[in-house]
Amino acid sequence: MLVHLYQDGESQPKKQHKDYQDRAHFFTDDIQHGNFSLRLDDLRAEDAGEYICKVYSDLFTVTRTAETSLEPRFKVKGSSGHQTVPLGGSVVLPCQVDESLLQKSLKVEWRRTDSETLVHLYQDGESRPKKQHKDYHHRAHFSPEKIKDGNFSLRLEKVRAEDAGKYTCKVYSDQDCVHSADTEVEILGFDVKCSRHTLAPLGASVVLPSYGDKPLPVEGLVVQWRKGYTTVHLYHNGQAQTQHKDYQDRAHFFTEEIQHGNFSLRLDDLRTEDE
């Protein structure tokens, strides 16, 4: 899937996949410094996955590649615990009923609120895995030993990006719904992992990435990059401030991106003492 294409001196938005139009951008002014980093806006659950950047000097030769992955971290909204889990982990969706209801024959359904997809069914004293949606086979379970306490919480394993969303637990006695509980699996954010780094030669430019969890007001914001006790770059009250003389005219922020939580530093004219 083509996320972004830069060719013949300009981006080619008409050729990128429609899911990324108006969301995937280059830092155009920094391309001359060899910066082909991609800014992806309005992150969605389906953005999780691996991305690869390839730079061609002609139609046949790849001069540089870089691989990056977006891995979401999840939590259950409204649950008592504050545990967050990575992609592939497990979450528990809470559903607790009064023990007095256990004296009756109960049917318990867990469904996706947005699509009515059946995630798990408990009926006539046992789970019915054959009736649940195939996407949840061997992933959505009850704890049988906890049912005697009225606990119909659902354990969802091997969490995927597409599991993000709202879920409803409904408990029926005969045909009557006697208990209902709503919960949500939400993506707290994405881990950005670079699985391969590009060698930056002496004299070239490199981007040192840093991203905030969320956009912050620029007014009163202070961002400082340091190397040991040396100030490499300082941003305060909406503009660049003091920096050590060794970094003057070499260390830069993406000023227009600071409001979006991007505090990355571009370091030009790399020297051995920059190690």
DSSP per position, the chain: -----EETTEE-GGGS-GGGTTTEEE-GGGGGGT---EEE-S--GGG-EEEEEEEESSSS-EEEEEEEEEEEEEEEET-S----EETT--EEE--B--GGGGGS-EEEEEEETTT--EEEEEETTEE-GGGS-GGGTTTEE--HHHHTTTB--EEE-S--GGG-EEEEEEEEETTEEEEEEEEEEEEEEEEEEESS-PPPPTTS-EEE--B-SS---STT-EEEEEETTEEEEEEETTEE----GGGTTTEEE-GGGGGGTB--EEE-S--GGG-
- CA dist 194 and 192 (Å) reads 7
25 and 5 Cβ atoms separated by less than 8 Å: no
| Look-up of token digits 């354990």 | 155
pLDDT at 81 over 70: no
Q: Which domain holds residue 109?
A: 73-188
Residues 88, 167, single domain; the answer is yes
Residues 161, 261, single domain; the answer is no
45 and 38 Cβ atoms separated by less than 8 Å: no
Domain count, the chain: 2
Residues 210, 121, single domain; the answer is no
Residues 118, 159, single domain; the answer is yes
Identity of residue 224? Q
Residues 90, 183, single domain; the answer is yes
Query: Of 163, 188, 213, which residue is a domain's last?
Result: 188
Residues 184, 230, single domain; the answer is no
Residue predicted with more confidence, 211 or 19 = 19
The sign of the torsion formed by the CA atoms of 254, 258, 261, 267 equals: positive
172 and 109 Cβ atoms separated by less than 8 Å: yes
Give the pLDDT confidence of 183-220 residue by residue, as tens digits: 999 988 888 877 656 667 788 888 888 877 667 777 88
**Chain centroid, CA 96 distance in Å:** 30
Query: Of 144, 160, 188, which residue is a domain's last?
Result: 188
| Look-up of token digits 């155009």 | 28
Give the pLDDT confidence of 104-137 residue by residue, as tens digits: 788 999 999 988 899 999 998 888 999 999 999 9
Residues 145, 80, single domain; the answer is yes
Domain assignment present for residue 15? The answer is no
Domain assignment present for residue 197? The answer is no
Residues 103, 172, single domain; the answer is yes
Query: Of 153, 188, 223, which residue is a domain's last?
Result: 188
Residues 112, 177, single domain; the answer is yes
Residues 100, 172, single domain; the answer is yes
Contacts of 131 (CB under 8 A, 6+ apart): 118, 121
Domain assignment present for residue 184? The answer is yes
Domain assignment present for residue 98? The answer is yes
Domain assignment present for residue 12? The answer is no
Domain CATH for 233: 2.60.40.10
Domain assignment present for residue 39? The answer is no
- CA dist 22 and 272 (Å) reads 39
Give the pLDDT confidence of 221-242 residue by residue, as tens digits: 889 999 988 999 998 877 777 7
Domain assignment present for residue 232? The answer is yes
39 and 17 Cβ atoms separated by less than 8 Å: no
For residue 122, count other CB atoms closer than 10 A to its CB.
19
Give the pLDDT confidence of 21-77 residue by residue, as tens digits: 999 998 888 787 777 888 898 888 889 999 998 888 776 666 667 788 888 989 898
Domain assignment present for residue 252? The answer is yes
Nearest-5° Cα angle at 19, 13 to 21: 25
Residues 98, 183, single domain; the answer is yes
Residues 131, 233, single domain; the answer is no
